[in-house]
């Protein structure tokens, strides 16, 4: 079994978590999911993890009202699980300074635009695709980047370009970009795992 241990941080349905999990089950997979962490106790990501015997935890301001204590608790759990890489996939909370420092260069995020365009604070979900369409961009697609203290500002590792169709809507663009994320993110994680081993 692969010893490159991945933690996925997710707040909602966890579709990228599902794509990563399916990829991790392939015979050639160089990584495995060792933890799913959510700030939302009722998230689909946690439900999926529990249904598939992936260690899961709800950690948030509900469980740890003090932000520093929450950050420390997350760091402790990551160390206990011997995590090699953190993937934030639809995780709607800041990563705390302890976690950022302890896992510097080992936290990646998937963002639904070609960064640095349409990134930064407030740029998530529909807002990203609305911004793409309003700008008149002819090409868009997801990016995977290193997480730093500043939103969407870390180095980009990989991108997948998609043409913006003339009749594109926010809904159609969101659907196509999400499908591309499900291919790009597992590919990046596999590549990082292969090069780490």
Contacts of 67 (CB under 8 A, 6+ apart): 61, 96
88 - beta bridge partners?
A: 9, 109
Q: Is 16 annotated as a binding residue?
A: yes
Q: Is 99 annotated as a binding residue?
A: no
Angle at alpha carbon of residue 144, lines to 138 and 146, rounded to 5°? 135
Six-digit token string for 36: 């799913």
Cα 101 from Cα 110, distance rounded (Å): 20
Closest CA to 111 of 82, 138, 89: 89
CA 159 vs CA 69, 74, 141, 156, 185: distances in Å: 35, 29, 7, 8, 9
Q: Is 14 annotated as a binding residue?
A: yes
Q: Is 140 annotated as a binding residue?
A: no
Active-site residue, 160 included: no
Catalytic residue among 12, 21, 64, 111: 111
Catalytic site positions: 111
The binding site consists of 14-16, 109
């Amino acid at each position: 079994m692969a010893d490159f241990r991945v933690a996925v941080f997710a707040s909602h349905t966890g579709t990228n978590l599902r794509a990563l999990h399916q990829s991790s089950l392939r015979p050639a997979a160089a990584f495995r999911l060792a933890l799913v962490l959510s700030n939302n106790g009722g998230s689909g990501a946690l439900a999926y993890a529990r249904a598939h015997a992936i260690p899961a935890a709800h950690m948030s301001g509900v469980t740890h009202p003090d932000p520093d204590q929450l950050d420390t608790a997350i760091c402790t759990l990551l160390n206990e699980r011997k995590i090699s890489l953190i993937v934030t996939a639809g995780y709607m909370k800041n990563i705390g300074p302890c976690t950022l420092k302890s896992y510097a260069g080992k936290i990646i995020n998937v963002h639904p635009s070609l960064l640095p365009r349409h990134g930064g604070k407030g740029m998530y979900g529909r807002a990203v695709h609305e911004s793409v369409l309003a700008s008149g961009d002819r090409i868009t697609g997801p990016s995977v980047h290193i997480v730093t203290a500043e939103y969407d500002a870390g180095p980009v590792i990989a991108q997948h370009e998609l043409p913006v169709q003339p009749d594109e809507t926010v809904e159609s663009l969101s659907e196509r970009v999400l499908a591309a994320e499900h291919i790009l993110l597992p590919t990046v994680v596999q590549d990082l795992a292969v090069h780490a081993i």
